[in-house]
Amino acid sequence: MPFYSDSEIPVRDDLAQAHAAQFERFARAGTWGTAVQRLAVISEARQAGIDAGMLEAPEDGGAVSDVELPEDVRAIIRCLAASPRDFDMGTYQQARDAGLSDAEFAELVAIVSFIVNLDVYARGIGVPLRPFAEPQPGNPSREQPVEAVLEQAFVPTIPNPPEGGAIAKEMYGPFKPYIMRALSIVPDEFRAHLELEQAQYVLLPKIMDFDYNHHEGLTRPQVEVVAGRVSAINDCFY
Amino acid sequence: MNPEALVRPELDTGVPSGDVLLAFAEAIIGTDRAALDAARTALAEALGPAAVSGASAVAANFSKNDRVANGIGIPVDDIVFNGTEDLREQLGLNAYKSAENTFRHM
Q: In chain A, where are the structural domains located?
A: 13-138, 204-238
Three-state DSSP class for residue A62: strand
Query: With pLDDT > 70 as the criterion, what percentage of chain A qualifies?
Result: 100
- Put simply, the answer to whether B53 touches A123 (Cβ < 8 Å) is no
pLDDT (tens digit per residue) in A104-122? 999 999 999 999 999 999 9
> Which own/partner contact pairs does B7-16 have at CB distance under 8 Å and 24+ positions apart?
B7/A232, B7/B91, B7/B92, B9/A229, B13/A225, B15/A219, B15/A221, B15/A222, B15/A225, B16/A219, B16/A222
A180-191 pLDDT, tens digit each: 999 999 999 999
Query: If you write DSSP's letter for every residue of B69-81 in order, what string do you get?
Result: HHHHTPPPPHHHH
Q: Considering CB atoms only, which of A9, A110, A114 is closest to B53?
A: A9
> Do B33 and A55 touch, CB atoms closer than 8 A?
no
Render pLDDT for B24-80 as a digit per residue (tens, 0 to 9): 999 999 999 999 999 999 999 999 999 999 999 999 999 999 999 999 999 999 989
Question: For an interface test with A, which of B13, B68, B87 has the most A Cβ atoms less than 10 Å from its Cβ?
Answer: B68
- pLDDT at res. B83: 87
Measured between beta carbons, the chain A residues lying within 8 angstroms of B68 are 109-110, 113, 179, 182-183, 193
Residues A4-62: pLDDT tens digits? 999 999 999 999 999 999 999 999 999 999 999 999 999 999 999 999 999 999 999 99
C-alpha span between A6 and A130 (Å, rounded): 11
Domain ranges of chain B: 1-71, 75-106
Rounded distance between C-alpha atoms, residue A100 and residue A118, angstroms: 25
Question: What is the pLDDT at residue A1?
Answer: 73
- Residues from chain A that touch B76, judged by Cβ atoms under 8 A, are 178, 237-238
Torsion angle of C-alpha atoms A12, A15, A19, A21, degrees rounded to 10: 110
Of B24, B30, B8, residue with least CA distance to A218: B24
Beta bridge partners of A149: A157
CB of A16 less than 8 A from some CB of B = no
d(CA A20, CA A25): 9
Helix (H) or strand (E) holding B23, with range, is helix B18-28
pLDDT-derived band at A175 (thresholds 50, 70, 90) equals: very high
- b/e per residue B51-74 (b: at least 16 CB within 10 A): bbbbbbbbbbbbbbbbbbbbbbbb
pTM listed for this prediction: 0.97
Is residue A229 within 8 A of residue B6, CB to CB? The reply is yes
CB contact under 8 A, A124 and B52: yes
* Shortest Cα–Cα distance, B13 to chain A (Å): 8
pLDDT at A12: 97
pLDDT mean across residues, chain A: 97
Among partner residues B49, B55, B105, which is closest to A152 by beta-carbon distance? Answer: B105
Residue pLDDT, tens place only, A212-226: 999 999 999 999 999
For residue B93, which residues of chain A lie inside 8 Å, CB to CB? Answer: 237
Residues 143-202 of chain A whose Cβ lies under 8 A from any Cβ of chain B: 152-155, 157, 177-179, 182-183, 193, 196-197, 199-201
Q: What is the pLDDT of residue A204?
A: 86
Contact flag B62-A224 (C-beta cutoff 8 Å): no
Helix axes B49-72, B18-28, angle to 10 degrees: 50
Average pLDDT score over residue span A204-208: 88
What is the rounded distance in angstroms from the CA atom of residue B62 to the CA atom of residue A124? Answer: 13
Per-residue pLDDT averaged across A129-150, rounded? 97
Measure the CA–CA gap between A10 and A4, rounded to whole angstroms. 9
| Residue A73: partners with Cβ closer than 8 Å, 6 or more residues away | A95, A98, A100, A108
